[in-house]
Amino acid sequence: MVFSSTIFLYYFLPLFLISYWLTPTKYKNGTALIWSLLFYMWGAPQFVFVLLASVAADFFLAKKINVSAQPQRKWYFLISILFNVGLLFYFKYANFFVDNANVLLEKIGMTAVHWTKLALPIGISFFTFQKISYVVDVYQNKHQPLKKISDFALYIMLFPQLIAGPIVRYGEIKEQLEDRSNNDDLDHKLNGLFRFTIGLSKKMLIANQMAELADSIFALPLETLTTGQSWLGALAYSFQIYFDFSGYSDMAIGLGLMMGFRFPENFNAPYISQSITEFWRRWHITLSNWMRDYLYIPLGGNRVGTFRLYSNLCIVFLISGFWHGAAWTFIAWGAFHGFFLVLDRLFLLQILKKIGKPLSVLFTFIITLVGWVIFRADTMPQAVDYIFRMFEATNINWGISVEKGIYPWFIEYRFKFILMAAALFSFFPIFGFMEKWMNTFLQTNKDTQIVIIKAIITLVLLAICMTEVISTGVNPFIYYRF
Amino acid sequence: MKLKFEKNQVIKGVCLTLLVLLLMIPMLKEHSPILNRELNASALKGYFEPIERPAFSLKNWWSGAFQNSREEILKRDLGIRSFAFRVNNQLHHAILKEIRTNYIEGKDGYLFGKDYIEDYMGFRYVGDNNMRYQTIQIKYISDKLKELFDVELIVAIAPSKAYVLKEKLPQKYDLNQKVDGNYEIYLAELERLDIKVLDFNKYLTAQVKETGEKEHILMPKLGIHWSEYAATLAADSITNYIGQLKEKDVVRVNQDEIVKTTKSRNQDEDISESMNLLYPLASQKYSYLENFARDTIGKYKPNIVLIGDSFGWTLWSKEIPHKLWGEESLFLYYYYNLWIPNEHDVQKTNKEMLVTYAKKADAIVLLYTPMTMESWGSGFIERFYTMLKKEEGFDE
**Alpha-carbon distances, residue A31 vs A22, A25, A35, A158, B134 (angstroms):** 10, 10, 6, 11, 73
Judgement on whether residues A76 and A135 belong to the same structural domain of the protein: yes
User: CB A464 to CB B23 under 8 A?
Assistant: no
Burial B19-52 (b: 16+ CB within 10 A, else e): bbebbbbbbbbbeeeebeeeeeeeeeeeeeeeee
Distance from CA of A472 to the nearest CA of B (A): 9
Judgement on whether residues A147 and A204 belong to the same structural domain of the protein: no
Domain extent, residue A472, equals 187-274+356-481
Q: Does A10 touch chain B (CB under 8 A)?
A: yes
What is the pLDDT at residue B336? 75
Residue pair A81/A135 in contact (Cβ under 8 Å)? The answer is yes
Is A456 a domain residue?
Answer: yes
What is the pLDDT at residue A478? 65
Q: What percent of chain A has pLDDT over 70?
A: 94
What is the pLDDT at residue B38? 47
Across B227-256, average pLDDT: 91
> In whole numbers, what is the pLDDT of chain B averaged over residues?
84
Neighbour-count burial of B129, counting CB atoms closer than 10 A to its CB (0-12 exposed, 13-18 middle, 19+ buried): exposed
What is the pLDDT at residue B196? 93
Q: Tell which of A179, A195, A225 closes a domain.
A: A179
Residue B153 β-bridge partners: B364
What is the pLDDT at residue A461? 94
Is A255 a domain residue?
Answer: yes
In tens, the pLDDT along B33-84 reads: 655 554 555 677 766 666 677 778 888 888 888 888 888 777 777 777 888 8
Judgement on whether residues A266 and A223 belong to the same structural domain of the protein: yes
ipTM computed for the complex: 0.79
Is A340 a domain residue?
Answer: no
Q: Which residues from A are below 8 Å from B22, CB to CB?
A: 459, 462-463, 466
Q: Tell which of A147, A179, A211 closes a domain.
A: A179
What is the pLDDT at residue A165? 74
Across B145-149, average pLDDT: 87
- Residues of chain B numbered 157-216 and touching chain A (CB < 8 Å): 171-174, 177-178
DSSP annotation of B257: -
Judgement on whether residues A451 and A475 belong to the same structural domain of the protein: yes
Mutation test of the interface with chain A: which of B15, B78, B117, choosing the one with the most A Cβ atoms within 10 A? B15
Closest CA to B168 of B241, B109, B227: B109
Closest CA to B176 of B238, B246, B121: B121
What is the pLDDT at residue A75? 92
* Cα–Cα distance for residue pair A334/A351, rounded to 1 Å: 23
What is the pLDDT at residue A424? 92
Judgement on whether residues A204 and A261 belong to the same structural domain of the protein: yes
* Cα–Cα distance for residue pair A207/B342, rounded to 1 Å: 56
In tens, the pLDDT along B359-394 reads: 889 999 999 999 998 888 888 888 888 888 876 555
Is A284 catalytic? The answer is no
Of A59 and A223, the one with more pLDDT: A59
What is the pLDDT at residue B42? 65
Across B110-118, average pLDDT: 91
Is A317 a domain residue?
Answer: no
In tens, the pLDDT along A124-183 reads: 888 899 999 999 999 998 888 888 899 999 999 999 988 777 898 888 888 898 888 888
In tens, the pLDDT along A430-460 reads: 877 777 777 777 766 667 788 888 889 999 9
In tens, the pLDDT along B82-103 reads: 888 889 999 999 998 888 778 8
Is A403 a domain residue?
Answer: yes
User: CB A452 to CB B174 under 8 A?
Assistant: no
Residue pair A164/A43 in contact (Cβ under 8 Å)? The answer is no
Judgement on whether residues A70 and A155 belong to the same structural domain of the protein: yes
Judgement on whether residues A121 and A160 belong to the same structural domain of the protein: yes
Helix-helix angle B380-391:B128-149, to 10 degrees:
50
* Cα–Cα distance for residue pair A230/A218, rounded to 1 Å: 8
Question: Does residue B169 surpass a pLDDT of 60?
Answer: yes
In tens, the pLDDT along A254-294 reads: 999 999 999 999 999 999 999 999 999 999 999 999 999 99
What is the pLDDT at residue B149? 87
Judgement on whether residues A235 and A364 belong to the same structural domain of the protein: yes
Of B348 and A306, the one with more pLDDT: A306
- Residues of chain B numbered 54-113 and touching chain A (CB < 8 Å): 61-64, 67, 70-71, 74-75, 78, 80-81, 84-85, 87-89, 91-92, 95-98
> In whole numbers, what is the pLDDT of chain A averaged over residues?
87
Backbone dihedral region of B86: left (phi > 0), alpha (psi from -120 to 50 degrees) or beta? alpha
Of A110 and A258, the one with more pLDDT: A258
Burial B186-200 (b: 16+ CB within 10 A, else e): bbebbeeeebbbbbb
Question: Does residue A299 surpass a pLDDT of 60?
Answer: yes
Mutation test of the interface with chain B: which of A5, A6, A450, choosing the one with the most B Cβ atoms within 10 A? A6
Is A335 a domain residue?
Answer: no
pLDDT-derived band at B164 (thresholds 50, 70, 90) equals: very high
Backbone angles phi, psi at A111, to 5 degrees: -80, 140
Distance from CA of B208 to the nearest CA of A (A): 25
What is the pLDDT at residue A243? 96
User: CB B22 to CB A417 under 8 A?
Assistant: no
Residue pair A334/A320 in contact (Cβ under 8 Å)? The answer is yes
Is A42 a domain residue?
Answer: yes
Residue pair A256/A161 in contact (Cβ under 8 Å)? The answer is yes
Q: Tell which of A179, A206, A225 closes a domain.
A: A179
Distance from CA of A468 to the nearest CA of B (A): 6
Tell me the helix, strand and coil percentages in chain A, rounded to 5.
Answer: 75, 0, 25
What is the pLDDT at residue B34? 59
Q: Does B13 touch chain A (CB under 8 A)?
A: yes
Is A330 a domain residue?
Answer: no
Across A466-481, average pLDDT: 72
Tell me the three state secondary structure of residue B112.
strand
Of B328 and A118, the one with more pLDDT: B328
Judgement on whether residues A205 and A243 belong to the same structural domain of the protein: yes
Mutation test of the interface with chain B: which of A21, A406, A417, A471, choosing the one with the most B Cβ atoms within 10 A? A471
Q: What percent of chain B has pLDDT over 90?
A: 27
Which region among A311-320, B33-42, B136-145, B294-303 has the lowest average model confidence (pLDDT)?
A: B33-42
Judgement on whether residues A252 and A384 belong to the same structural domain of the protein: yes
Of B69 and A394, the one with more pLDDT: B69
Judgement on whether residues A160 and A235 belong to the same structural domain of the protein: no
Question: Does residue B1 surpass a pLDDT of 60?
Answer: no
Which region among A38-52, A269-283, A295-309, A432-446 has the lowest average model confidence (pLDDT)?
A: A432-446
Backbone dihedral region of B252: left (phi > 0), alpha (psi from -120 to 50 degrees) or beta? beta
Distance from CA of B169 to the nearest CA of A (A): 12
User: CB B67 to CB A42 under 8 A?
Assistant: yes
Domain tally for chain A? 2
Judgement on whether residues A366 and A242 belong to the same structural domain of the protein: yes
